[in-house]
Structure formats: C-alpha cells, structure tokens
C-alpha cells in the first residue's frame, strides 16, 4: 500500500539538505549534502541518497553512502566537508556528481554507472591547459555547482555572493566538453550577486548561492537562493547561456511572502539558508528545499511542495505544508508526530533560526540514532501548525507531551481561528497523553496547537480521533 507523504519527506532523524531531485527509471532520486544532528558546522557527513517510486512518494528507500569525503585526492584525511552537490547524466550515459570541498575554490567530479550506486572520483573541472577552475587568475571561488547536459555539452553554474564582497559577481557559467571536465567556453556571470544587482531586475532577490538549472519545455529555469537566504527564487532564459530574467520567489522556508491567514511579511517558521530545485514527477512539478531544525543552522531537513508552472512560465509562490508530496491533504484521523509542523512560532516573530527562547524540532540521542523527532521548548504562546488534513467526523483530539509545564494547549484550524478545544497538561518527566472532545467541521483545514501556561514542555504529537 502507498504511504502518506510528509514534510520532511525522509525519516525524522535524517538531515539531507540542498536537495537536487531527479527521476531515473521510474524512481525519484535526491542528491544533497549531509548535515549532522546537533552539529557545529554544515555538511559534516558523507554523501548519501534516497529514492522513491515516482508513483509512491511517501515510500523512500535508503540507497546508502554513495561517496565518501576521503575519496577526493585533495581530502584524503577527511578534514574538509562535502558541500552541496549536483548531478547530470553525461553523453556516455553515466551519472556525474559535481561538488565542492569547503576549503578549496575548485570543482570536483565523481562518476557512477548507476544513479544510486557507489561513485568514484573522476577529476577536477579545468581549462584546456590543465589549470583547475578556481585557480586561474581572475577566477572566482567555486561553490554549489549546478549542472545540465545537452547536446554533448555540460553547463556548469557556480558561485557564492555575500553582502559587501565585490570580488564575487554572481552565479558564473562554464561550458564543459564531452569529457565533463574541460572548459570550452570562458566563464561568465549569468545572474548577479547583491553587489551588482542595481538595474538588473534582480533587486532585492539577487543571487546568494545554490545554483541549480532545469529545462521546462523550451525554457531554462535557474533556481537559486537569494540574498535574504530563506527564499528559493527562479530566473528564466531561452538559452542555458542566458540572458536570464528574474521570475519570482517559489518558496520561503520562513513563509515570508505568503499572506494566507497572516500578513505577508510575518514569519511563521524559523528560516535560514535554502537550497533546492524543481522536478517533474508524473506530470506534476515540485520544488525541493530544506528547513532548519534544533534551533540551529546546521541540522537541516529536506522538504518539498507541489508547484504550478503557468502557461506564461511563471511560478506562483507556494506555502510550506506538512503534506508536500502527498498530492493532497493528509487523512483526518490517526496520530501525527510533532516534527511534521510546517509552522512554528511564538508571539515574538523571528525570520531566522536561533535563540534559546524559541521552540524547535529536535530528537533524543545522537546523530544516527533512529529516534523520532518532536518539538522541544514549547513555552507560553508557542504555536505549532500542521497543514493540511481532510477532516471527516473528528470527535476528539489527544496530544502527547512531557516536561515541567502547567497550562493548556488550544486547538484551532487556522492561525487566528476559533478555539475548538483546550487540552490541560501538567508537570511530567515522561510522555503523557491528554485528550479532549472536539468538533472539527468536515473539509480541508489545518491544525494549530498553541501552548498557554507556565514552564516549557516537549510536544511529541497529536491524534485525530473519529
């Protein structure tokens, strides 16, 4: 039987951000970097990948470690991190993985005969004279490669542009030969960074990082993280070389820009840097992106949302949900773990993750322990929102909490809607379940749980009872 699909779409103890999704042989594969739970930096893990049947997007299979950081000749001691990769199929039908190490300005390439197999180091992107890209005078440091191969040529986009750094101009395009390594067209900037945005149409949404490229019909969509960091934006061109024109925001991992049930500039999730891309699965298009967890920048999880590409080529911004790949709302009955919350906030708004005063998605144990996630540090006014459910005949709701808190959880079906139930909780150092009758009208709606009271508690999840 097909499983419901959630956000995050991988197990709650898995931290695979920067997701680049592709469909090969009827399966969706996601390639990303690998964060460590409770880490102090980004991307400490080896590359792993997951795949799912294109017609069963809740059923993800672990493909294992596909590439170890020590396989790169420049990183035999494993002291450098593997930053966000991208994948393309070469003219020879093999799968090529492009990536950057955290302390070098170059682009490395690994290759495999299978999309989920063990990749082997292949080489470094270089000029015809053998000089590695990033080490030639005038080169900009390489970062976050995005690749697409067409007609025997591979188009490689890279770059990182921080505020105040005029030495980095934007996302840079290099065209590679059939060997997948040799540059045959000189690098050029195709999407401007923040220091070069004036007069370009990219003002306020200039390139920051996370270059990604997809073809949709006869157009090329450049997907990237913009200067505010929490946005995944897009630009469109008729040719992979550009010129690209700014299109808009596809998703924000703080839900900035969404004015459904809230002001557009109000954050309802703790955002941060973002990275992902779009993919067509069985005729529908999706945006893959990531969210921050554990009150940290360094433990990120992959999410996805269904999008619409309109006839004019535009992509309206979508909101964060708990049911992104499900194809519709989740069943309005059964137990749902708290880590599926797509909204998490208090009465003190914050666009970015961090701070001891905020609730957070977390887990017990250490990285690698298959411990289910939950929301910790729920305090007075903390709200967890879950979107969306198909309610039919719900008569009661229960919540499971632990912690030294005394108060109640208010239940709503919209952020500022009527309180449909109040569930008292009390001090406990073990998980306890509390239940209340409720009358949720039939139809599609959300669940919002708001804690009112003293102390702090952890929220394991809730059950909808029919």
Rounded to the nearest 5°, which phi and psi values hold at 95?
-100, 125
Q: Which of 14, 18, 144, 408 is catalytic?
A: 18
CA distance 317 to 17: 20
CA distance 267 to 445: 20
Contacts of 189 by beta carbon, 8 Å cutoff, 6+ apart: 159, 169, 170, 171, 172, 173, 196
Tokens linked to 77:
């001691």
> In which residue are the tokens 């009661």 written?
396
CA distance 224 to 336: 32
Radius of gyration (Cα) for the chain, nearest Å?
22
Q: Which of 63, 195, 209, 231 is catalytic?
A: 209
Of the candidates 203, 178, 185, the residue with the CA atom closest to the CA atom of residue 193: 203
CA atoms within 13 A of residue 412's CA, in its CB half-sphere: 15
Q: How many CB atoms lie within 10 A of CB 294?
A: 21
Is 411:346 a contact under the CB 8 Å cutoff?
no
Rounded to the nearest 5°, which phi and psi values hold at 361?
-75, 130
- DSSP 8-class letter at 136: S
- Asked whether the bond before 338 is cis by omega within 30 degrees of 0, the reply is no
Pairing outcome for strands 405-412 and 428-437: unpaired
Determine whether 209 is an active site residue.
Answer: yes
Is 384:449 a contact under the CB 8 Å cutoff?
yes
CA 206 vs CA 52, 139, 166, 187, 309: distances in Å: 33, 20, 13, 19, 22
CA distance 133 to 147: 15
Outline where 281-438 has alpha helix (H). none
Handedness of CA 98, 42, 233, 361 (dihedral sign): positive
Is 50:66 a contact under the CB 8 Å cutoff?
no
Identify the three-state secondary structure at position 179: coil
Catalytic annotation, residues:
18, 209
């Amino acid at each position: 039987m097909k499983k419901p699909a959630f956000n995050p779409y991988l197990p709650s103890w898995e931290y695979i951000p920067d997701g680049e999704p592709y469909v090969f042989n009827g399966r969706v594969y996601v390639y990303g970097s690998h964060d460590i739970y409770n880490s102090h930096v980004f991307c400490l893990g080896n590359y792993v990948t997951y795949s799912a049947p294109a017609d069963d997007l809740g059923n993800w299979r672990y493909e294992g470690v596909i590439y170890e950081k020590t396989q790169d000749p420049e990183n035999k001691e494993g002291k450098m991190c593997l930053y966000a990769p991208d994948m393309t199929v070469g003219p020879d039908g093999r799968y090529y993985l492009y990536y950057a190490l955290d302390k070098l300005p170059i682009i490395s390439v690994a290759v495999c005969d299978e999309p989920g197999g063990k990749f082997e180091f292949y080489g470094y992107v270089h000029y015809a004279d053998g000089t590695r890209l990033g080490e030639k005078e005038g080169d900009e440091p390489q970062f976050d490669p995005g690749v697409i191969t067409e007609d025997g040529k591979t188009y490689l986009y890279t770059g990182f542009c921080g505020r105040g750094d005029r030495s980095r101009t934007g996302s840079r395009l290099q065209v590679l030969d059939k060997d997948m390594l040799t540059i045959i067209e000189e690098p050029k900037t195709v999407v401007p960074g923040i220091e070069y945005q004036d007069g370009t149409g990219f003002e306020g949404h200039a390139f920051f990082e996370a270059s990604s490229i997809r073809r949709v019909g006869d157009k090329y969509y450049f997907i990237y993280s913009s200067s505010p960091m929490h946005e995944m934006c897009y630009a469109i061109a008729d040719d992979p070389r550009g010129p690209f024109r700014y299109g808009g925001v596809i998703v924000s991992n703080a839900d900035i820009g969404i004015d459904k049930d809230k002001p557009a500039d109000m954050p309802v999730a703790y955002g941060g840097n973002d990275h992902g891309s779009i993919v067509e699965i069985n005729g529908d298009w999706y945006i893959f992106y990531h969210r921050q967890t554990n009150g940290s920048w360094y433990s990120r999880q992959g999410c996805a949302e269904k999008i619409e590409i309109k006839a004019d080529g535009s992509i309206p911004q979508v909101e964060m949900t708990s049911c992104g790949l499900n194809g519709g709302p989740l069943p309005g009955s059964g137990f749902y773990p708290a880590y599926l919350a797509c909204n998490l906030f208090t009465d003190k708004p914050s666009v970015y993750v961090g701070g001891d005063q905020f609730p957070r998605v977390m887990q017990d144990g250490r990285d690698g322990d298959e411990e289910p996630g939950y929301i910790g540090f729920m305090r007075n006014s903390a709200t967890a929102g879950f979107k969306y459910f198909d309610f039919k005949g719900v008569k009661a709701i229960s919540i499971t909490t632990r912690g030294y808190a005394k108060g109640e959880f208010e239940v709503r079906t919209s952020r500022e809607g009527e309180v449909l139930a109040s569930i008292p909780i009390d001090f406990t150092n073990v998980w306890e379940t509390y239940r209340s009758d409720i009358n949720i009208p039939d139809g599609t709606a959300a669940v919002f749980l708001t804690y009112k009271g003293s102390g702090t508690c952890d929220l394991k999840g809730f059950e909808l009872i029919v």
